[in-house]
Structure 1
């Protein structure tokens, strides 16, 4: 173990975040908050925002089809998965909206490539070397370094804007006496003293909350909200969630994963308190899943999916969809939900309106040439 790593491990102590999800923050000089929740593994939008009113839905899905009687009806076509009970309340309160049949420019079905396109904002995998969330942070007034609460900084946050990381150790908590002795040891070390002071400052900021965040998604949401609500805390955040790759046993697995997401979002709302009014949370995945069920009680890699915008700043209570239909002739390559909305345009519009940035400039910075073809979606956030 290097001396630099020892400093961070000793100062952090035993508190550790969940392996999935993990969180990443970036500080910005604004009262508004923007949170990106990535669903790694290709989330099944057809069973999250359920097109129960499409005549082909039930037959395509078979045993996987969600019973509309158990779901929350959003309108005459769509319903929300029953595990998203708290999210449904936010929809009723007009703090949530859903965008269906949405996809990034990526049209193949590799998780790694799809996530790279989603996080970098490029048109092809590994074409762009930094992340759109890092570029978004760069559009804001200068502030303290961006912070990634993960063993490594997610691709979406990598780039020119300074980022530091905080990965709590799995070692037992460091005793105060040990911390004091190390502080004395490095007191006159010009190189290590600033590193140690930064590590101990981070430890003091997160306190014991990250230990509780190990337990469940709700605790993680509460921990993240506590950081975001601080006057000197981050204003841009990234939360990673996993478990969305449902090739088999999808009914049980998706219900459990959605329940965790629901708890995470509810904890953000509760923990942010008055700051929830200024918050926008974007939930998106790298691609969707096949329209038809497979032979193992699940679905395979697809194309279009559903995205969510949640928050007190969101102009919610609606589903945005140019619905392509689920008849065989309507499917993309005869198997997937066809994309009719651009995820890049949704991200650019939500980010710009949330942080009060110019939409065209934001789209150009985040998505380059892609922004020329996909105008940012407007009217997502309250004025």
Structure 2
């Protein structure tokens, strides 16, 4: 990168907080909101949404099996067959409100078990991990009215593959650095305001930071919540802003539970507790915009149905995806359940995939963001023309 461009990007990213500027993200291209949460490491779908009524559930899950609904530390019933992990209790009520649904036995076309290749495929939207340089969500934004300009926001350090492409997106993460004073920022702006490269870059970066600062609700100079809490609250409020972004992506780490996964206590319950908190904060931040919002929670693959010898699970194939929001037709389990009997497992060890992840993603993009079926096949998922979108996911 040229030194001047590097300095501009560094200043725009690093001098976050007290600018009086504000960025106008969206010019009414859409009033729908979408948040994609990527659970990196592969969430155990059978732990998050357990098929407690499957006749093979208890024997095959062993120490990881959870008690039935109504029992101490039991699952939270969804439909008489599946139950939500009790760590997800804060979002369980959304099911009755028809603002939460789950798609089980879902997977990308990937059938190996490498995190890196699987995440690449999940984000690129292809059929094979071929080193694609653009993500399906960025390509989808390019098909929205106005070519997605000002609609996208990446939360965290850097822009993930799913948001990379021709459409520029903003990025924001809580800064570990002390907040600069307004006087300091004004002096820097005075120095660079006439520079054709650094001036616009710095103005844009400071404007994004200013919107994030106001959206966070944390006064400058005050102690900040944990990063995930701050990002969720800030993302919700930025998306709710009429002049804010419309589509956001955030990552959550800690789902690779080879050791000490646990049933009620352990790494998976801890991660699910964090997920429920993030989803709740997003809903709170979105406010009235919740009625026009969809939160999609996805992971690169599932995990083995049987526990391993270290109290965890290993890399698997199919898992579960969650959809939440006021815009969905929730209160339903979707996907054909393959069963847990040995002869029904994929390669004798994994939950067998019955729903293509792209069917879920296509449905959200088509019925929520208004991306046409032709654009989905030609531009967004060109390797998935034969994959039909799931029906009736979005309220009409």
* Structure-2-length-normalised TM-score: 0.88
Within 5 Å, give how 1:214-233 maps onto structure 2. 214-215=225-226, 217-233=228-244
Moved more, 75-84 or 201-210: 201-210
Residue 185 of structure 1, CA deviation: 1.6
Residue 172 of structure 1, CA deviation: 1.2
Residues 203 and 377 of structure 1, relative CA distance in 2, 3 Å threshold: same
Residues 361 and 179 of structure 1, relative CA distance in 2, 3 Å threshold: closer
Residue 164 of structure 1, CA deviation: 4.0
Residue 216 of structure 1, CA deviation: 5.5
Long gaps (5+) in structure 2: 19-24
Q: Distance in 1 between matches of 2:161 and 2:371?
A: 23
> Residue 200 of structure 1 corresponds to which residue in structure 2?
206
Within 5 Å, give how 1:81-96 maps onto structure 2. 81-96=85-100
> Residue 71 of structure 1 corresponds to which residue in structure 2?
75
The answer (yes or no) to whether the contact 1:13–1:172 under 8 Å persists in 2 is: no
> Residue 382 of structure 1 corresponds to which residue in structure 2?
395
Secondary structure of the 2:86 match is coil
> Residue 251 of structure 2 corresponds to which residue in structure 1?
240
Residues 192 and 145 of structure 1, relative CA distance in 2, 3 Å threshold: farther
Secondary structure of the 1:227 match is helix
> Residue 342 of structure 1 corresponds to which residue in structure 2?
356
Q: Distance in 2 between matches of 1:361 and 1:166?
A: 29
Q: List per-residue Cα deviations over 1:174-200 (Å, max 9, x = no partner).
A: 012211211222233333222222222
Q: List per-residue Cα deviations over 1:105-127 (Å, max 9, x = no partner).
A: 00000000000000001111125
Residues 283 and 301 of structure 1, relative CA distance in 2, 3 Å threshold: same
The answer (yes or no) to whether the contact 2:172–2:209 under 8 Å persists in 1 is: no
Secondary structure of the 2:87 match is coil
Q: Distance in 2 between matches of 1:256 and 1:216?
A: 16
* Structure-1-length-normalised TM-score: 0.91
Moved more, 330-339 or 198-207: 198-207
> In the alignment, does 2:160 pair up with 1:154?
yes
> Residue 256 of structure 1 corresponds to which residue in structure 2?
270
Secondary structure of the 2:294 match is strand
> Residue 19 of structure 1 corresponds to which residue in structure 2?
none
Moved more, 351-360 or 340-349: 351-360
The alignment of Structure 1 onto Structure 2 pairs a total of residues equal to 371
Within 5 Å, give how 1:1-383 maps onto structure 2. 2-12=6-16, 29-68=29-68, 69=71, 70-142=74-146, 143-144=149-150, 146-207=152-213, 209=216, 214-215=225-226, 217-251=228-262, 252-372=266-386, 374-383=387-396
Q: List per-residue Cα deviations over 1:216-240 (Å, max 9, x = no partner).
A: 6444321110110000111111111
Long gaps (5+) in structure 1: 15-25
Q: List per-residue Cα deviations over 1:153-178 (Å, max 9, x = no partner).
A: 10000111123433454221101221
Residue 43 of structure 1, CA deviation: 0.5
Q: Distance in 2 between matches of 1:368 and 1:253?
A: 37
> Residue 22 of structure 2 corresponds to which residue in structure 1?
none
Secondary structure of the 1:83 match is helix
Moved more, 173-182 or 158-167: 158-167
Q: List per-residue Cα deviations over 1:274-323 (Å, max 9, x = no partner).
A: 11010011111100000100000000000000111100001000101311
Residue 29 of structure 1, CA deviation: 1.5
Residues 74 and 166 of structure 1, relative CA distance in 2, 3 Å threshold: closer
| Aligned-residue CA RMSD (Å) | 2.1
The answer (yes or no) to whether the contact 1:40–1:243 under 8 Å persists in 2 is: yes
Moved more, 343-352 or 331-340: 343-352
Q: List per-residue Cα deviations over 1:238-262 (Å, max 9, x = no partner).
A: 1111111000110111111101110
